[in-house]
Homo-oligomer: A and B are copies of this chain.
Amino acid sequence: MAYITSIESIDIRFPTSEQLDGSDAMNPDPDYSAAYCVLHTSEGPEGHGMTFTIGRGNDLCVAAISQLGQQLIGLELTDLRSQMGPLWKKITGDSQFRWLGPEKGVVHLAAAALINALWDLLAKQEELPLWRLLSTMSGEELYDLVDWNYLSDVVSKEEIITHLNATARTADTRITVLEKSGYPAYTTSAGWLGYSDEKMRELLQEAVDAGWTTFKMKVGSDLDDDKRRARLIREFIGQDGQLMMDANQVWGVNEAIRWMRELSEFNPGWIEEPTSPDDILGHAKIARALAPIPVATGEHCHNAVMFKQFMEAGGLSICQLDSCRLASINEIIGVLILAWKFDIPVCPHAGGVGLCEYVQHISMFDYTRVSCSTDGRVIEYVDHLHEHFKDPVRLVNGRYAAPQVPGYSIEMHPETLSQYVYPDGPVWSSRLR
Contact = CB atoms under 8 A, between A and B. Distances in A.
Identical chains in the assembly: 2
A278 interface: yes
Contacts of A302: 104, 278
Interface in A1-39: 26-31
A309 interface: yes
B63 A60 contact: yes
A278 B300 CA distance: 14
A199 interface: no
Interface residues of A, number: 62
Contacts of A308: 279, 281
Interface in A93-132: 94-109
A277 interface: yes
Interface in A29-59: 29-31, 53-57, 59
A254 B152 contact: yes
- What secondary structure prevails in chain A residues at the interface with B? loop
Contacts of A57: 64, 67, 96-97, 99-100, 107
Contact of A107 (B96, B106, B254, B280): B106
Given A95-B29, A281-B312, A309-B280, A100 B254 contact: no
Contact of A30 (B30, B56, B95, B100): B95
Contact of A99 (B54, B94, B280, B282): B54
A205 interface: no
A210 interface: no
B252 A279 contact: no
Contacts of A153: 252-254, 282, 285
A36 to B, nearest CB: 16
Given A63-B60, A104-B105, A95 B149 contact: no
